[in-house]
């Protein structure tokens, strides 16, 4: 059996060492997954083309054993990358994601200038989930709700998650690990 790979994609101004990424890396490792948390370039002035190109370089070939967890800007980066792939990916979990310009973050509008090919995403990724916090003051939950509708993914809304940042107390995010476990069990039973 081919080993499953998980890519955890950070967001704006973040690094692979921030937030709950290392914790999730350890949790996914317990499932036997190879976990990669790439450092994307120019995190304080990100450009879509650079981020997608670096993600493509790090991932290589996408297949039915390739998983992605994105946080904030990492979500649209993953979706842009996957919408251009010819192959099916196993699944995505989008945390505080968005696919349209965010009023509070106009510097990121380049990532959302072109609409996503949602049908492409839906047809190529069987496992999809979106996680939002109702008190997120960076990417309000409405953006994640609309993303979940666009990619036909269940939305998991938490009441007090903020933007799921380490400075807000989030060095773990059990819901993401629970979803990975659930999807892993579903695949084993097929």
Active-site residue identified among 96, 136, 144, 184? 136
Sheet holding 127-133, edge to edge: 34-36, 5-9, 66-71, 91-95, 127-133, 155-158
Q: Catalytic annotation on 72?
A: yes
CA-CA-CA-CA dihedral for 14, 16, 22, 23, to nearest 10: 40
Distances (CA, A) of 118 to 13, 72, 93, 148, 174: 27, 18, 15, 10, 27
How far is the C-alpha of 76 from the C-alpha of 81, rounded, in Å? Answer: 8
Q: Catalytic annotation on 163?
A: yes
Active-site residue identified among 10, 19, 71, 72? 72
Q: Catalytic annotation on 133?
A: no
Q: Which tokens in the block code for residue 142?
A: 């409405």
Q: Collapse the DSSP code of 185 into the 3-class scheme (helix H, G, I; strand E, B; otherwise coil) and give the result.
A: helix
Task: Render 161-176 in DSSP notation, one character per residue.
Answer: -TT--GGGT-S--HHH
Q: Which tokens in the block code for residue 119?
A: 């049908």
Active-site residue identified among 10, 19, 127, 163? 163
Q: Catalytic amino acids?
A: 72, 136, 163
């Amino acid at each position: 059996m081919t080993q499953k790979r998980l890519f955890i994609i950070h967001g704006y101004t973040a690094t692979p060492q921030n937030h709950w990424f290392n914790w999730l890396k350890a949790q996914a490792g317990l499932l036997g997954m190879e976990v990669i948390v790439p450092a994307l370039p120019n995190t304080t002035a990100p450009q879509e083309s650079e981020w997608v190109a670096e993600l493509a370089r790090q991932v290589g070939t996408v297949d039915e054993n390739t998983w992605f967890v994105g946080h904030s800007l990492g979500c649209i980066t993953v979706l842009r990358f996957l919408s251009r792939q010819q192959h099916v990916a196993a699944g995505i979990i989008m945390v505080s994601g968005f696919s349209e310009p965010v009023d509070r973050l106009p510097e990121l509008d380049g990532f959302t200038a072109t609409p996503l090919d949602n049908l492409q995403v839906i047809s190529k990724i069987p496992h999809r989930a979106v996680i939002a916090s109702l008190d997120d003051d960076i990417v309000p939950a409405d953006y994640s709700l609309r993303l979940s509708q666009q990619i036909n993914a269940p939305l998991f809304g938490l009441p007090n998650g903020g933007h799921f940042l380490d400075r807000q107390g989030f060095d773990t995010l059990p819901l993401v690990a629970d979803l990975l476990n659930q999807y892993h069990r579903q695949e084993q039973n097929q």
